[in-house]
Structure 1
Amino acid sequence: MFKFPQMDFEMAIWEMTSLLIAPKKVFKSIYYHPSQRDDGQKTKNTWHRPDPSFTYLLSFFLLLTALAWGLAYAPSFGAIVRLSLLFIFFHFIGSSLLVSTIGYFAIGRLFGPDGAAASLTGLRGGNGRRRGAAQGLFVQPGEKDQLEFGYCFDVSNRAFFPLYLHLYVVQFLLLPLLTRSPSNFLATFLGNTLYLSALTYYTYITFLGYNALPFLHNTELLLLPILAFAILWLVSLIAGWGIVAQGRSVEGLFWGA
């Protein structure tokens, strides 16, 4: 796990770039991963790529971001260390573990061959995917049609990167504008739209990750939260409620207050 020479950081950088301009390419490469690992002598049937370079690289970016936030808003060594730990181990690793755990136990059961979504018709991919085992705690040889926890964690990590750019980089740059008076419509609109875009992108990347698995059915249903986010965004604008301009909302997000 800590053998850096064996990590493909170039691939991780390519994935980060592709997540912004052509996210489907990222999971298409993961889709072909199992067949590429069959050398004729030993077949490793896994959808999970055992290379933590993406996680380490994004953690490094979060460390740099924490330094920027700390120096700008709480220039003390202790605060910067605390913020760095909060960004990496709570916001990133912690949330990814939580989301991937939920996905591991729920996605396979809901969207697998015997899941509730598999019986639905009229959605793209509803009848065209091959059938296989929905889920297993450990992947057994020859049982590649299983949802692996490692793959769920891969999806969560990659979905976090666009959210990181929205809420940790762009929000930091726009914070002087976004924290104006809550009555400022422009600040409210920009702040709420920023969060809408971040959550929409997170949901879409998550959908692409699970949609790449051929044994899951009707994964388009994973896009439904985007509709809820859009409704909440519209209601918040009508009510004049700004996410960022609520005083302690930013502190609560970034400082754990």
Structure 2
Amino acid sequence: MLPTSVSKGRSSSSASRTNPMFPQYLRRIIKWQQMDIEYTFWQMLHLCTSPKVVYQHTKYHKQTKNQWARDDPAFVVICSLLLSVATIAYCAAYDHSATHAIFVVISVLLFHFLITGAMLATFCWFLTNSYLREDSPNSHVVEQRVEWLYAFDVHCNSFFPMFVMLYVIHYFLSPLLMVHGFIPVLLSNLLFMAAASYYHYLNFLGYDGKLILLVCCFALLLNIGQKIFRVEVWQSILVPSLCLIDALFLKIFL
């Protein structure tokens, strides 16, 4: 399900049509009246229950508007608001001052969601356009090409269920997970494994089952996570191994 654009002669005209999409997308962020809030919550619900339905609707969006990426920033706005609320809840639970809470909210929004998402989207956009496209000798066949904004949409789609598991469910399980012992550590790692596996499964769906992209994105995330959170050695071995098994399972059975 890679975004398509006409090759060669028409590529420049296609690019000129897609360029105005970014200013329009940014302008609509501050216009709540133009956002489809109900459809956004519908997408969020189905991303957690039946994500294939969401990507089926993405195909319909391509057929009607001739672009894969969303032209409605409601998903990003609502996800940012929910992330802010969850971060404030953590700050309130762990007795942070108001100044520190504001700093934490801004840093989480920027680094956990937007900047990291933009980096991953750029990485996936470059990887798919450079190595995962199928070149056809027929000049009349439409060339497969990923839109950058669509790559960011795939990240946002994958991030929301991970947010539910690692920010919401983890918050309510914090009294149990903060207890010292093997069981809390095991549960914490299983929760992280489930969130990471589901994140990459949704990437798997977003890029139409490109397994190499799934594994490469996970390797990048793992490397970042090891440097930032300084996880123990056995954790850094257990989690990627289980996720790699999960990726192979997806490749074989889906």
Which TM-score applies when normalising by structure 2?
A: 0.70
**Alpha carbons of structure 1 residues 131 and 194: separation in structure 2 relative to 1, 3 Å:** farther
The CA RMSD measured in Å over matched residues stands at 2.9
Aligned to 2:67, what secondary structure does the other structure show? Answer: coil
Indicate the residue corresponding to 1:71 in structure 2. Answer: 92
Indicate the residue corresponding to 1:192 in structure 2. Answer: 189
Indicate the residue corresponding to 1:59 in structure 2. Answer: 80
> Is the counterpart of residue 236 in structure 1 residue 234 in structure 2?
yes
Cα distance, 1:28 vs. partner?
0.9
CA distance, structure 1, for counterparts of residue 166 and residue 69 of structure 2: 27
4+ residue segments displaced more than 2 Å: 130-133, 220-229
Cα distance, 1:74 vs. partner?
3.1
Cα distance, 1:36 vs. partner?
1.4
Cα distance, 1:223 vs. partner?
4.3
* Equivalent of 2:42 in 14, 18, 24: 14
Q: Which amino acid aligns with 1:204?
A: Y
Identity of aligned residues (%): 32
CA distance, structure 1, for counterparts of residue 204 and residue 60 of structure 2: 17
Cα distance, 1:240 vs. partner?
10
Cα distance, 1:188 vs. partner?
1.5
Contact 1:132/1:146 (<8 A) preserved: no
CA distance, structure 2, for counterparts of residue 109 and residue 222 of structure 1: 12
Indicate the residue corresponding to 1:34 in structure 2. Answer: 62
**Alpha carbons of structure 1 residues 189 and 169: separation in structure 2 relative to 1, 3 Å:** same
Which TM-score applies when normalising by structure 1?
A: 0.69
Contact 1:158/1:205 (<8 A) preserved: yes
Indicate the residue corresponding to 1:249 in structure 2. Answer: none
CA distance, structure 2, for counterparts of residue 171 and residue 131 of structure 1: 48
**Alpha carbons of structure 1 residues 72 and 131: separation in structure 2 relative to 1, 3 Å:** farther
Cα distance, 1:226 vs. partner?
10
Cα distance, 1:95 vs. partner?
1.3
> Is the counterpart of residue 49 in structure 1 residue 49 in structure 2?
no
Indicate the residue corresponding to 2:177 in structure 1. Answer: 178
Gapped regions of structure 1 (runs ≥ 5): 38-44, 119-129, 134-144, 212-217, 230-234, 242-257
Contact 1:188/1:240 (<8 A) preserved: no
CA distance, structure 1, for counterparts of residue 175 and residue 238 of structure 2: 19
> Is the counterpart of residue 5 in structure 1 residue 33 in structure 2?
yes
**Alpha carbons of structure 1 residues 227 and 35: separation in structure 2 relative to 1, 3 Å:** closer
Indicate the residue corresponding to 1:208 in structure 2. Answer: 205
Cα distance, 1:236 vs. partner?
3.3
Cα distance, 1:222 vs. partner?
3.7
Contact 2:124/2:213 (<8 A) preserved: no
CA distance, structure 2, for counterparts of residue 203 and residue 167 of structure 1: 15
Gapped regions of structure 2 (runs ≥ 5): 1-27, 223-232, 240-254
CA distance, structure 1, for counterparts of residue 199 and residue 142 of structure 2: 27
**Alpha carbons of structure 1 residues 111 and 80: separation in structure 2 relative to 1, 3 Å:** same
**Alpha carbons of structure 1 residues 240 and 156: separation in structure 2 relative to 1, 3 Å:** closer
Aligned to 2:70, what secondary structure does the other structure show? Answer: coil
> Is the counterpart of residue 81 in structure 1 residue 102 in structure 2?
yes
Contact 1:66/1:87 (<8 A) preserved: yes
Contact 2:166/2:195 (<8 A) preserved: yes
CA distance, structure 2, for counterparts of residue 74 and residue 81 of structure 1: 13
Cα distance, 1:32 vs. partner?
1.6
CA distance, structure 2, for counterparts of residue 149 and residue 10 of structure 1: 25
Higher helix share: 2
Cα distance, 1:75 vs. partner?
3.1
Cα distance, 1:89 vs. partner?
1.6
Contact 1:16/1:161 (<8 A) preserved: yes
Cα distance, 1:4 vs. partner?
1.2
Count of aligned positions: 198
